[in-house]
Amino acid sequence: MKKIEKAADGKEVVKRVPAVLVVSGDVVVYTVTATNTGTAPADKIVINNAISEHVLYMADSASSVAIGKNTTITFSVDGGKTYADPQQLTVTEDGVTRAATAEDYTHVRWQLNFALEPQKSTSVFFKARLK
């Protein structure tokens, strides 16, 4: 959920806060935070997140606070078995194959193409609408 607060300079700031109650049609933001608790930089970090069957992924909403550091985002339509760019995904219904839409996605994958320094964190997120 979003909460709007006033900053010290008087400007409005939008903050994410945990949802207390959500109902059909509400938009929620799923956030995953990865923290390197080790003593050396961590690389080749991959975060896979299932999309609940109770929500619909909102197109183009997956992102990362580190997107400028080269984060690759791909999707799955087969329960997380395979991942690809959206334009490469297809689904077959009643024997007919069609291009997948955002509503067909079952998983989101973020590949962090940079090393996460020790004791540092980064977050990835996506938006979904409750069915």
Digit-coded pLDDT (tens) for 40-99:
999 999 999 999 999 999 999 999 887 666 899 999 999 999 999 999 999 999 999 999
1 assigned to some structural domain: no
4 assigned to some structural domain: no
7 assigned to some structural domain: no
CA atoms within 13 A on the CB side of 109: 19
Separation CA 110–CA 46 (nearest Å): 6
What pLDDT score was predicted for residue 80?
A: 97
Residues 114 and 124 sit within 8 Å (Cβ to Cβ): no
What pLDDT score was predicted for residue 23?
A: 86
Cα dihedral 102, 107, 113, 115 sign:
positive
86 assigned to some structural domain: yes
51 assigned to some structural domain: yes
15 assigned to some structural domain: no
- How many structural domains compose the chain? 1
**How many Cβ atoms sit within 10 Å of the Cβ of residue 7?**
8
β-pairing, 63-64 vs 107-112, is: unpaired
Separation CA 9–CA 100 (nearest Å): 45
Domain that includes residue 32, residue range: 23-130
What pLDDT score was predicted for residue 85?
A: 96
Q: Mapping DSSP to helix (H, G, I), strand (E, B) and coil, where does residue 115 land?
A: coil
If pLDDT is split at 50, 70 and 90, which confidence band does 6 have?
confident
What pLDDT score was predicted for residue 19?
A: 73
Q: What average pLDDT does this structure show over 97-123?
A: 95
What pLDDT score was predicted for residue 69?
A: 66
For residue 85, the domain's CATH number is: 2.60.40.2260
Residue 72 has which token pair? Answer: 């690759």
13 assigned to some structural domain: no
Residue 107 has which token pair? Answer: 């998983």
